[in-house]
Amino acid sequence: MTTDSTPTTRPAEAAGTLRLGGDLTVNRLGYGAMRLTGPGIWGEPSDPEQAVRVLRRAVELGVNFIDTADSYGPFTSETTIRRALHPYADGLVIATKAGLTRPGPNDWRPLGRPEYLRQQAELSLRHLGLERIDLFQLHRIDPAVPLEDQVGELKLLQEEGKIRHIGLSEVTVEEIERARGTAEIVSVQNLYNLADRTHEEVLRHCEQQGLAFIPWFPIATGRLAAPGGPLASVQVSRAATAAQLALAWLLRHSPALLPIPGTSSVEHLEENTAGALIALSDEEYEAIGAAA
Ligand SMILES: NC(=O)c1ccc[n+]([C@@H]2O[C@H](COP(=O)([O-])OP(=O)(O)OC[C@H]3O[C@@H](n4cnc5c(N)ncnc54)[C@H](OP(=O)(O)O)[C@@H]3O)[C@@H](O)[C@H]2O)c1
């Protein structure tokens, strides 16, 4: 295993870059801002100042893709991003989502009625302090509403200049292709990590079609980072934590992958971002893949 020459002060840059929709270039290791809320992804975090520090540190470390959603809090994650980072640095891409309602902690229910998606886009613009959202993702397809109506409303928002690019979340190849019949889709955000590769076919499809694949739960909600976890016994030629190996494996596994590890801690953020500095040898990549 070797490290490349990117200064360790901005390790996310070592992940290489990915072009979203052909015009937004981001470093291929991002940050997921779902954990900057209270328990059950509900309400304020116990230490709001720590949440601000995490976001500012992420940008210092070279992260320029931050994933959030209206439903994280709800809105707590978005308003914290604004508080920590507005006015936004050039090139910082904030991706948000709509399509899940929050009746309470740990409760997530799809709602894709066009007027609701529009309302949530308007509220996200306000909460993030943006005039246009760079990447707006349909958080879930609502089975009670025709997909064409849900994606069609996002296309209208795009034509009005309120959103730049459209993404999907938790979708099959068939759903991606159906949505592409209504609007241009630039990204897919599905559950994916070393230990759960259910969406491998979707990943390969994204790779072939030039879409970004944003894997959520990239370290399996911390289970891949845990002491004694599946990566604990993997032998590598330089010091690396299990979380770093899980992220380095994703970066190596496909150029379409844009991991967004989530954390509420500056220490974990620094550890995770440094995973981008690890260039796995072929043998190490195979061994990590087999271990999980
Ligand atoms: N599209 C969707 O439906 C969907 C669903 C879920 C998530 N997401 C997005 O995906 C992002 C990532 O998912 P996630 O945050 O749920 O899961 P994750 O990145 O796989 O894991 C985050 C969890 O692992 C812990 N952790 C992080 N780094 C660690 C480290 N180095 N060592 C030990 N523990 C560590 C965190 O705790 P600490 O806070 O203590 O570090 C947190 O509990 C979210 O933030 C969100 O943006 C999208």
Q: Chain-centre distance of CA 238, in angstroms?
A: 28
19-222+257-262: CATH superfamily: NADP-dependent oxidoreductase domain (3.20.20.100)
Other CB atoms within a 10 A radius of the CB of residue 76 amount to: 23
Structure tokens of 178? 């159906």
How sure is the predictor about 257, in pLDDT bands with cuts at 50, 70 and 90? very high
Which helix or strand (DSSP H or E) is residue 165 part of?
A: strand 163-169
| Pocket lining for ligand 1, CB < 6 angstroms | 32-35, 67, 139, 169-170, 189, 216-222, 225, 243, 260-265, 268, 271-272
**How far, in Å, from the CA of 243 to the mean position of ligand 1?**
11
**Domain layout of the chain by residue ranges:** 19-222+257-262
pLDDT tens column, 175-233: 999 999 999 999 999 999 999 999 999 999 999 999 999 999 999 988 999 888 888 88
Residues belonging to the active site: 72
pLDDT tens column, 93-129: 999 999 999 999 999 999 999 999 999 999 999 999 9
pLDDT tens column, 161-176: 999 999 999 999 999 9
Cis peptide before 87 (omega within 30 of 0): yes
Rounded Cα–Cα distance for residues 152 and 112 (Å): 11
Rounded Cα–Cα distance for residues 216 and 234 (Å): 23
